Amino acid sequence: MERRLNSPGLDPATASEYDRVEFWISELERLDRVLEKPAISLIRLVDGALTNGILNDGELTRTTPTTIDEKAPRCDESLLVHAVACSAVQRLDNQRRRFSWLRTPEQDALERLRTKIPDSFVEHSALRSKVPLRRLDALAADTFGTLSPLPTSEVFWLLVRAGEKNAHGDLGFVALFGLLWALNRRTHGPFEAGAALGAWRPTSAVTARCLLPILTLNGILQRRAKLWADALNICETVAKNAPGRNQWQRWRFASELDHLSAVLHELEEISINPADFHKAADALTKLASPLRPQDPTADRGIEVRKIMRKLFARLGKENEGILRKAAEATNVVQKTLLEILKTNDDRRDKLARECNLVPDWELQSKAASGAHQICRRALRKLQEAVTLCDGLPTGAKFTHKKMIHTLERLSAINHGVYEILSEAIAENVEWCVRGVTREVAFASAKNDTDFDVAELLSGVVIAERTKRISRIEAGDAIRLCLRAAREDGSWWSGQPIFLIKRALGVWPSTPDVVLLLSTAVKAFNDIDCADEHLRKFIDWLEVRALTQHPEWSKRVSIEPLWGWSSEARESAIDVWTTATAVKALLEIREIIEDRLWSICENRFTVITNLRGLTEIDPVDLGARHKERLQTRLLRNAARARLHEKQADYSYMLHGPPGSSKSVLAQAIGKEMWCSDKGTVRFVRITPADFTRRGESGLDFEARFIFRLLSRVRGVTIFFDEIDDLLRVREVDAAPAFIRLVIPGMLNRLQDLRDSARAQEIAFLLGTNYIDQIEPALIRPGRIDVAIPVPYPDAWSREAILQKNAAGVSSDILRYVVENTAEWPWSTYQKLCANLASALSYKNARKLVAELGFEFQRPDYYYLNWKRWKATSPLETELVHLAFSISTKKAECRARVKALQDQLKNKDGVVSGLDLPGKFDTEWRREGRS
């Protein structure tokens, strides 16, 4: 397992799973080595440009240079290269947790750049010009012209990633107009529905560049619409349960407030005013936190409406300011441009030169007018949110019905903008997808003269994003693309995307092609035909890496810069090539992690049908809401998704058999992470996974399992029933192989915990015998928190029965709750389900009597004096079990005292055991009444 699989001809697809894991991990480590120095250099370069400026030909410039050599940088094409470099840094910032080699200076730089990058575009001096058309200079590029699709798409994509505040602002709408204008032109014929650079023919490569940021924005709009709809449904459930007529309603009310808070946290990531969403979510959390089982909830329903009303007001105010600028850009700048296009004078000629336009003025005017109308429609739809939020009544007049109507409209507004943009680009999408058939035909016929790999891959990427291609079709197209791959890892560039007088041209570079290829491959986990060529690309970058230490960098104490030159035999670092290569490597890195996940799917039990924490019946409703088990886990999952420092990533779930540990673990998996494809990754590991090679191979399997799991991203792992591998080390009692395995298991669990935050991993261990677990495991660094999972307390049993048997009479409810103390969660669930089908007092007595023999009583587990030889979380577990006795403290405490008295009569029990004292501490901590 230790050997590297770099030998020629070795196919990882046919190798053993052990060798494949080692192979892909070695490739991942190699990719990180290749990525590290250029990525750090790019961060420093952009940070230097935006923070202090870079000396260029004696002048200080605040844009990223195009090339870097030993003398000075060059900034010939500042907009495009600056946007590409900033876009790459944005991606690095999004994945920063995964890279241990990003040291404090780079981490600090990324924090600064999170706002400096979009600000460097949206605060362009041209946008403040009093001459409307001069504002277009914010998107001016020397070679391609103002509002050219290539630089404009890169800027718009960057603004979309930077958040709604930037994408919906004045520059965002100018950029959107530029892209739609390019997509609407038909200067090469009515059926050429693609975008072009200047007078050159339309290409799928340029069209895809225009479409991808719009499709990304559409994805965000869809997600926002769904989240508002989710909030609507939750608010309906909150209102339904606000009266709190029974225990189940009061639990649902509090838990749904947590659910609503989680939705607002998700909206925070994609909203125009994230701080306000964060405050609203925290306010809902605080509203639910102090609730106890008997606390009235009706008045708190009014508080929910107040919190949401305040959020809506802030949302309207923030939108108003942003959209006012967008309206000026749409109604003044765009309309001025339209007027010039319709006027035959010097202004039109100047516009033609600046925008590099084909002088077919009727078509240009028609295309620009169509783009303008789309922008106006989208803007009006967004402004509906301002009107809606500004017109909301205050106080008691803001009723539940009004709140639901507002949520419904906000969802509809976002969906409406999505439909407007989807309709606007539909013809371009179809044109791009049709190009796949054409290029596949060229490749199949081995017509290398006409075949263009960038065209085919661009069409495939758009088809995948719009779900217009199957996995088989995409795989066949990608396989044909490999014809353009060279043996050294570079790629044939294909046809130009831009030519001026047959002298000046632009072709997709190798990093451009590989970025398209990796994006296409990533859409389907099982398309692996291009894996070898992606690895060769890493080889190609590895041998071509350059380092430069120009004079200007020495003056500002910047370390030597790393990167790659263009494919034109230059000796300088080309920033466009370097930034694009960095983006391609980040995509390839995710593909490698997907390959490792595929091995997990084949090797382990992967569970996909999961319920969330709010869908699981509670066990500890007697506690204050913030101390309840599901509440703590749900809120921790939100902290982990937000990457807050205080989040927990590893748990030890302990409790007697039947106490819902496995169900709870799966629910945590549903809440913790979600992959880019919208799927949840949950793996269940059992002793059988460790013992496939027998006792002698157990340590080998353990090393393999943990090495694999620590490299998979966005996964929740449940180690179920592996007590024997984690037992207290007793030299005289444990078998020899166990004594050797346990120390290694502890170290590997610590390694897994060390990887948890970076890789978005959560892992849980479930055990029925916490006292037999090695104490060294249950300490910070390996397990963040040990959580007792008790049997349902009296409050929970009451709520669960009310849920399953609506309208249950008070006498049946009282009988069942009083006679099911210390019943396992699973058995009590069975009782409630059976009772609901035949609800009567007689049947209740019968079922309680019959099911009472199906499980061992707790004394069987807790009166074994050997379990108390040393202190352990067993004390907390026993105390929480006692909470299930009654709603009254005295009765529960009496049970604990009786158990301790019985233990004192056993020989060998540890002296100094104070279970009643522990009981008092836990009762007080949980705020039980």
At 88-124, the pLDDT tens digits run: 999 999 999 999 999 999 999 999 999 999 999 999 8
Please check whether residue 461 is in contact with residue 501, taking contact to mean a CB–CB distance below 8 angstroms: no
Decide: helix, strand or coil at residue 406.
helix
Query: What is the share, in percent, of the chain residues with pLDDT greater than 90?
Result: 69
Please name which of 251, 250, 272, 259 lies closest in space to residue 231, comparing C-alpha atoms: 259
Average of per-residue pLDDT across 316-323: 94
Average of per-residue pLDDT across 730-735: 50
pLDDT of residue 738: 46
Please name which of 26, 21, 7 lies closest in space to residue 538, comparing C-alpha atoms: 26
> How far apart (Å, rounded) are the C-alpha atoms in residues 100 and 91?
16
> How far apart (Å, rounded) are the C-alpha atoms in residues 766 and 789?
10
pLDDT of residue 731: 46
Please check whether residue 24 is in contact with residue 595, taking contact to mean a CB–CB distance below 8 angstroms: yes
Angle at the Cα of 627 (from 621 to 628), degrees rounded to 5?
35
Average of per-residue pLDDT across 151-180: 94
Strand partners, 650: 763
Angle at the Cα of 152 (from 146 to 155), degrees rounded to 5?
130
Please check whether residue 702 is in contact with residue 744, taking contact to mean a CB–CB distance below 8 angstroms: yes
pLDDT of residue 716: 95
Instruction: Give, rounded to a whole angstrom, the gap between the first and last alpha carbons of the chain.
Output: 57
Burial (0-12, 13-18, 19+ Cβ within 10 Å), 537? buried
pLDDT of residue 558: 67
β-pair type (546-548, 561-563): antiparallel
pLDDT band at 3 (very low <50, low <70, confident <90, very high): very low
Average of per-residue pLDDT across 790-818: 94
Please check whether residue 373 is in contact with residue 381, taking contact to mean a CB–CB distance below 8 angstroms: no
Check whether 686 has a pLDDT greater than 70: yes
Please check whether residue 631 is in contact with residue 625, taking contact to mean a CB–CB distance below 8 angstroms: yes
Check whether 436 has a pLDDT greater than 90: yes
Decide: helix, strand or coil at residue 561.
strand
| pTM for this prediction | 0.93
> How far apart (Å, rounded) are the C-alpha atoms in residues 695 and 315?
61
Check whether 142 has a pLDDT greater than 70: yes
pLDDT of residue 910: 56
Decide: helix, strand or coil at residue 718.
strand
Mean pLDDT of the chain: 90
DSSP sequence for 583-595: HHHHHHHHHHHHH
pLDDT tens-digit series, residues 334-355:
899 999 999 988 999 999 999 9
DSSP sequence for 633-694: HHHHHHHHHTT-TT---EEEEE-STTSSHHHHHHHHHHHH---TTS--EEEEE-HHHH-TT-
Average of per-residue pLDDT across 615-620: 93
Burial (0-12, 13-18, 19+ Cβ within 10 Å), 727? buried
pLDDT tens-digit series, residues 651-681:
999 999 989 999 999 999 999 887 666 688 9
DSSP sequence for 790-803: PPP-HHHHHHHHHH
Helix, strand, coil % in the chain, rounded to nearest 5: 65, 5, 30
Please check whether residue 789 is in contact with residue 661, taking contact to mean a CB–CB distance below 8 angstroms: yes
318-332, 484-498, 551-565, range with the lowest pLDDT: 551-565
Check whether 4 has a pLDDT greater than 50: no
Please check whether residue 796 is in contact with residue 816, taking contact to mean a CB–CB distance below 8 angstroms: no
Name the phi and psi angles at 42, rounded to 5: -65, -40
pLDDT of residue 69: 82
The two structure tokens encoding residue 804: 């399953």
pLDDT of residue 493: 82
pLDDT band at 144 (very low <50, low <70, confident <90, very high): confident
Check whether 550 has a pLDDT greater than 80: no
Q: Which residue type is seen at 710?
A: S
Which helix H or strand E contains 574, and what residues bound it? Answer: strand 573-574
Alpha helices in 133-246 (DSSP H): 149-162, 164-167, 170-184, 204-241
Check whether 76 has a pLDDT greater than 50: yes
Name the phi and psi angles at 612, rounded to 5: -80, 170
pLDDT of residue 58: 61
pLDDT tens-digit series, residues 826-861:
999 999 999 998 899 999 999 999 999 999 988 888
pLDDT tens-digit series, residues 237-281:
999 999 999 999 999 999 999 999 999 999 999 999 999 999 999
Please check whether residue 865 is in contact with residue 908, taking contact to mean a CB–CB distance below 8 angstroms: yes
> How far apart (Å, rounded) are the C-alpha atoms in residues 363 and 371?
12
Beta-carbon contacts of residue 202 (< 8 Å; ≥ 6 apart) = 188, 192, 193, 194, 195, 196, 431
pLDDT of residue 121: 93
Average of per-residue pLDDT across 436-458: 94
Check whether 188 has a pLDDT greater than 90: no
Could you tell me how far CA 441 lies from the centroid of its own chain?
A: 38
pLDDT of residue 9: 46
Please name which of 664, 775, 767 lies closest in space to residue 720, comparing C-alpha atoms: 767
The two structure tokens encoding residue 237: 């459930």
Scan for tokens 């995964």, then name that residue. 98
Check whether 236 has a pLDDT greater than 70: yes
pLDDT of residue 737: 42
Please name which of 612, 617, 624, 655 lies closest in space to residue 798, comparing C-alpha atoms: 617
Which helix H or strand E contains 504, and what residues bound it? Answer: strand 504-506
pLDDT of residue 503: 61
pLDDT band at 748 (very low <50, low <70, confident <90, very high): confident
pLDDT tens-digit series, residues 864-919:
888 887 788 999 999 999 999 999 999 999 999 998 888 877 665 556 788 999 99
Which helix H or strand E contains 346, and what residues bound it? Answer: helix 346-355
Please name which of 216, 217, 139, 221 lies closest in space to residue 174, comparing C-alpha atoms: 139
